[in-house]
Copies of this chain bind each other. A is one copy, B any other.
Amino acid sequence: MQFNLEAITEIALGIGLQLLVIIAAYLIINPIGRKIISRVLHSSTKKQKISEARVLTLEKLLLNIYSYVLIFIFITMIFGVFELEIGPLIASAGVVGLAIGFGAQGLVSDVVTGFFILLEKQIEVGEYVTTAGYDGIVEELGLRTTQIRSFDGTLNYIPNRHLEGISNHSRGTMRALVDIGISYNDNIDHAMHVLQTVCDNFSIDERFVDGPQVIGVQSLGSSDVVLRVIGQTQNMEQWGCERDMRKAIKEAFDRNGIEIPFPQQVTHLIKEKS
């Protein structure tokens, strides 16, 4: 019984060398990766006004994931050096990872969508938006969740992946539109003249960017002839303008004897014997 010392030494040397390479790679790659993650995160979030606290949370999360992945690779490689089968390790990690990945699919989707909403500045805090069935003022923009304050005071938390199409009502002048019905007996030209007079009074209102105009007969309804008035207003002033125009039109019609008709019906009366 003889030990082939030479071969063993050679093998031991090989193992040692490999271990050295692995440990060196770990020591080099670990801090570099951490720095890259931090820097990329900070530089890409600096422009998007994300609060410092949120960035730190995200950074911690990413660094944790990064550490676990690196340690897993490190352990597996050392196993590999001793020529142990690492198939089961990889397979187990893959199955567990995929299972979590499937479940967390929504999370990644949230972050990707959130990133682009921030990048393309689709919405900003304080704007009035409609999206995903919610309607209100944006209170906070996160990478994962957007908070919208409804006008009734409710605070809505919406995962970003549900923001499929965003209607931003705070980007430019808004339209004020009033539809008003007049009787079939009234003269259309007269009514339009009265309406235009009201409109002209409003056109000096600072809230109007483009003075309201009567644009014509919008429809011949079952009980009335509907006329439409349209104007462009300052942002968020459209409702106030519409309310004031409705009041002014009603009063002008009263003064000029133009009727806003109730629903009409023709009844053919047959008296039955009872």
User: How far apart are the CA atoms of A167 and B91 in the complex, in Å?
Assistant: 41
User: How far apart are the CA atoms of A92 and B80 in the complex, in Å?
Assistant: 15
A82-B246 contact, Cβ under 8 Å, with A150-B167, A165-B157, A172-B155: no
Contact of A90 with B93 in the complex, beta carbons under 8 Å:
no
Q: Which applies to chain A's interface (DSSP): helix, strand, loop or mixed?
A: mixed
A93-B91 contact, Cβ under 8 Å, with A153-B175, A158-B165, A262-B222: yes
Interface size on A, residues (CB 8 A): 121
- The residue on B at minimum CB distance from A146 is B165
Please name all residues of chain B whose beta carbon is closer than 8 Å to the beta carbon of A218 when the two chains form the complex. 243
Contact of A112 with B102 in the complex, beta carbons under 8 Å:
no
Please name all residues of chain B whose beta carbon is closer than 8 Å to the beta carbon of A265 when the two chains form the complex. 262-268
A264-B264 contact, Cβ under 8 Å, with A76-B85, A88-B76, A153-B175: no
A27 at interface by CB-CB < 8 Å:
no
Give the contacts of A122-168 with B (CB-CB under 8 A): 122, 130, 132-134, 142, 144-145, 149-159, 161-162, 164-168
User: How far apart are the CA atoms of A95 and B93 in the complex, in Å?
Assistant: 9
Contact of A116 with B145 in the complex, beta carbons under 8 Å:
yes
**Could you say which of B153, B250, B274 contacts A169, with CB atoms under 8 Å apart?**
B153
- The residue on B at minimum CB distance from A223 is B262
Interface centre among A2, A79, A246, A266, by most B CB within 10 Å?
A: A266
Number of this chain's copies in the complex? 7
A81 at interface by CB-CB < 8 Å:
yes
A84-B93 contact, Cβ under 8 Å, with A243-B217, A267-B270: no
A195 at interface by CB-CB < 8 Å:
no
* Distance from A106 Cβ to chain B, minimum over Cβ atoms (Å): 6
A120-B145 contact, Cβ under 8 Å, with A155-B168, A268-B266: yes
Contact of A122 with B145 in the complex, beta carbons under 8 Å:
yes
Please name all residues of chain B whose beta carbon is closer than 8 Å to the beta carbon of A180 when the two chains form the complex. 220
Contact of B92 with A69 in the complex, beta carbons under 8 Å:
yes
A272 at interface by CB-CB < 8 Å:
yes
**Could you say which of B88, B151, B260 contacts A90, with CB atoms under 8 Å apart?**
B88
Contact of A162 with B164 in the complex, beta carbons under 8 Å:
yes
Q: Which 6 A-B pairs have the closest CB atoms?
A: A103-B108, A80-B85, A216-B243, A99-B101, A76-B88, A153-B174
CB<8 Å pairs between A and B, sample of 12? A2-B6, A72-B88, A77-B84, A98-B98, A106-B113, A122-B145, A152-B238, A153-B169, A157-B165, A265-B267, A267-B268, A269-B272
